Amino acid sequence: MATALFGKARKRLKAAAKHLSVHPDVIEKLRYPKETLATTLLVRMDDGSRRAFKAWRCRYDDSRGPTKGGIRYHPKVNLDEVMTLAFWMTFKCAVANLPYGGGKGGVAVDAKKLSRMELERLSRAYVQAFARFIGPDRDIPAPDMYTNGIVMAWMADEYSVMTDQPNPAVITGKPVALGGSLGREDATGRGGYYVLRQLEQDLGLSPPKGRVVIQGFGNAGFHFARLIHADGYRIVGVSDSRSAIYDPDGLDPLAVEEHKQKTGRVAGAPTARKARELSNAELLEAECDLLVPAAMENQIVLENAASIKARIILELANGPTTPAADAVLNRAGKLVIPDILANSGGVTVSYFEWVQNKAGYYWSEDDVQQRLKKNIEPEARRIFDLHYQKGIDMRTAAYVHALQRLAASIEAHGTKAYFARGS
Ligand code: NAD
């Protein structure tokens, strides 16, 4: 059953289990997804034809609560990736101490090639196909790559049509006017920013000197860049799917974003000194203190790991570093702040949105930000301390931390030790 990406992800479970005395029942349960639904969406295109798109949703584990995770639109999405992302969500929700399990969904589509109406039909078709699988107390989707607030609004609307009542808590990442939370837009980047600021002294990083390279200048990467730049960190390089720029004097992320909005690429953005254009691969290996992969998985791999110059890597993307690359980085004394901690701000504010929807009581943006800070900082501290005390890398420490919480829930249902004692 283990496939390429999923097999690699499961290695993290094995590595974490070595540092804890959890019951084998716990590991057995966490080795497999609870349920996965695969289907084909038949969507009416603008020219009248019908096109088929493969779609998936996986509820990996719900020991700690309803499953939670985004829906990704990408031409290369497949079952292996969806299962892996759902596995990561299980551990991420446990790291963030949210009362959720992990889930994920995906559609194999190049969303950029669809018209807005085609995209709406596709998104509504997804909900029609998965309506029995998702639900406000069962499985709660959210945005991921190439899905956004409008897509979530269509999906929430379709679900309310199908259930004949408003049901905002079925999905998060909605526009604020439809029950979305203030502060969700920048939550992932902001969470990473709080993690960095919480640990920067331990990491020997500080704003005036810290040179930062960010791969992927989308939602997560841009907001992270904006926040750390405002605190004085120097952003020396950024990239998107088409281009990469590097300027040792530092880039202004707001100017880069404005340029990207106008031209669709980061290259060519106005800078103090003329920025050099690099390839995406070169950018990952560029001179800097902190490297922030914020694009997609499998970017730091065995082939380029030894060439990474950054001392610290903060993973805003999900799964940007392969286990083989991790080993190279660890041997070279580099420190990786893992995705399941660094990007957990997104799901944390998604949880806040769900809580607000259920309570029908809405918080201020400042309130959301303060709660996020209060939630993520102690988890970053615990994981860093665990890494330090046990002499294990931070990723393993994060998995150990999450596994402790998952094990407590799974063991509370009874293990062999309990049943073997008899009645
Ligand atoms: P996004 O679509 O807003 O941005 C992705 C960015 O990456 C875009 O700028 C795109 O041009 C760029 N990109 C794509 N392929 C690239 C490549 N090969 N090299 C360089 N850049 C490339 O997506 P996002 O929401 O910012 O998500 C980015 C990553 O963060 C994903 O791994 C996602 O799973 C993860 N993440 C996002 C959230 C969230 O709330 N948005 C939460 C948790 C994790």
Which atom of ligand 1 is the closest one to the Cα of 316? 30
**Domains of the chain by start residue, with CATH:** 35-178 (3.40.50.10860), 187-342 (3.40.50.720)
Instruction: List Cβ neighbours of 303 (8 Å cut-off, separation of 6 or more).
Output: none
Pick the more confident residue, 364 or 412.
364
**Tokens matching residue 422:** 């008899």
Residue 381 CA neighbour count, 13 Å, CB half: 8
Q: Whose CA is nearest to atom 36 of ligand 1?
A: 317
pLDDT at residue 407 above 80?
yes
pLDDT at residue 383 above 90?
yes
In percent, the amount of the chain with pLDDT more than 90 equals 86
Out of 104, 174, 260, 334, the active site residue is 104
| Per-residue pLDDT reduced to its tens digit, 200-210 | 999 999 887 79
Q: Are 98 and 348 in contact (CB under 8 A)?
A: yes
- Grouping H, G, I as helix, E, B as strand and the rest as coil, residue 135 is strand
Q: Is pTM, for the whole model, over 0.85?
A: yes
Mean pLDDT score of the chain? 94
pLDDT at residue 274 above 80?
no
Q: Quick one: pLDDT at residue 207?
A: 87
Pocket test for ligand 1, best of 188, 260, 347 (most atoms within 8 A of CB): 188
Lowest-confidence region among 56-70, 76-90, 141-155, 408-422:
408-422
Pick the more confident residue, 110 or 185.
110
What is the phi/psi pair of residue 331, to 5°? -65, -35
Report whether residue 292 contacts ligand 1, using a CB cutoff of 6 Å: no
- CA 382 – CA 286 distance, rounded (Å): 31
Pocket test for ligand 1, best of 343, 347, 353 (most atoms within 8 A of CB): 343
Q: CA Rg, the chain, in Å?
A: 21
Pick the more confident residue, 43 or 8.
43
pLDDT, average across residues 393-397: 96
**Tokens matching residue 171:** 């999905």
Q: Would you list the DSSP string of 224-262?
A: HHHHHHHTT-EEEEEE-SS-EEE-TT---HHHHHHHHHH
Q: Quick one: pLDDT at residue 423?
A: 53
| Known active-site residue 334 | no
- CA 337 – CA 314 distance, rounded (Å): 5
pLDDT, average across residues 55-68: 98
Q: Quick one: pLDDT at residue 136?
A: 97
Report whether residue 318 contacts ligand 1, using a CB cutoff of 6 Å: yes
pLDDT at residue 272 above 70?
no
pLDDT, average across residues 113-125: 98
pLDDT at residue 421 above 90?
no
pLDDT, average across residues 310-326: 94
pLDDT, average across residues 319-331: 94
Q: Quick one: pLDDT at residue 66?
A: 98
Query: Would you place residue 422 in the very low, low, confident or very high pLDDT band (cuts 50, 70, 90)?
Result: low
Beta bridge partners of 140: 68
Query: Would you place residue 58 in the very low, low, confident or very high pLDDT band (cuts 50, 70, 90)?
Result: very high
